[in-house]
Amino acid sequence: MTLNVYLSGEIHTDWREQIIDGAKGLDVTFSSPVTDHDASDDCGVAILGAEDNKYWHDHKGAMINAIRTRKAIEDADVVVVRFGEKYRQWNAAFDAGYAAAKGKSLIVLQQPEHDHPLKEVDAAALAVAREPHQVVEILRYVLTGGLSS
């Protein structure tokens, strides 16, 4: 069994690297959104031409990013969504809803202070983790049946 895992959400800490490093040796393929904040914001106008209006500037970029995101979620068996300390992160919650509707196994990675506002998202998840290493342990267990001692 190979697991395709999409790592959605917060882009300002190294949680993705921690999971990818921790999962070395497991039969997992990871995908992510573009995590270069500037490229992600500006890809639309950089490729397709400038816009006077900031709304359309953002829109062109978000739609190109959607080509990557939709493909990655469609191909995923497991979608991990990380909610960080800062920002509103509506795109993370959007990805969680999208993944849930597509029948993907959802793992939410978040701190306890967000339990209440995230309760609807958590209710659609198969696991709520606090730390990246817990996500690694879940992947290891799902693939090998083994638990770390």
Q: Which lies closer to a second copy via its Cβ, residue 21 or residue 36? A: 36
For residue 71, give the nearest of 109, 33, 126, 29 by alpha carbon: 33
Minimum separation from the CB atom of position 86 to a second copy (A)? 11
* Min CB(106)–a second copy separation in Å: 9
- Residue (21 or 75) nearer to a second copy, CB: 75
For the chain, give the longest Cα–Cα distance: 58
Cβ at position 110, least distance to a second copy in Å: 10
CB of 25 or CB of 101, closer to a second copy? 101
What is the sign, positive or negative, of the torsion defined by CA atoms of 26, 80, 95, 69? negative
Assess contact for 104 and 77: CB atoms under 8 A: yes
Cβ 131 to a second copy shortest distance, Å? 10
Dist CA 94 CA 79 (whole Å) = 12
* Residue 23: CB minimum distance to a second copy, A: 14
Judge whether 80 and 8 are in contact, CB under 8 Å.
yes
CB nearer to a second copy: give 24 or 67. Answer: 67
> CA-to-CA distance for 146 and 141, rounded, in angstroms?
5
- Name which of 21 and 123 has its Cβ closer to a second copy: 123
Rounded Cα–Cα distance for residues 5 and 66 (Å): 17
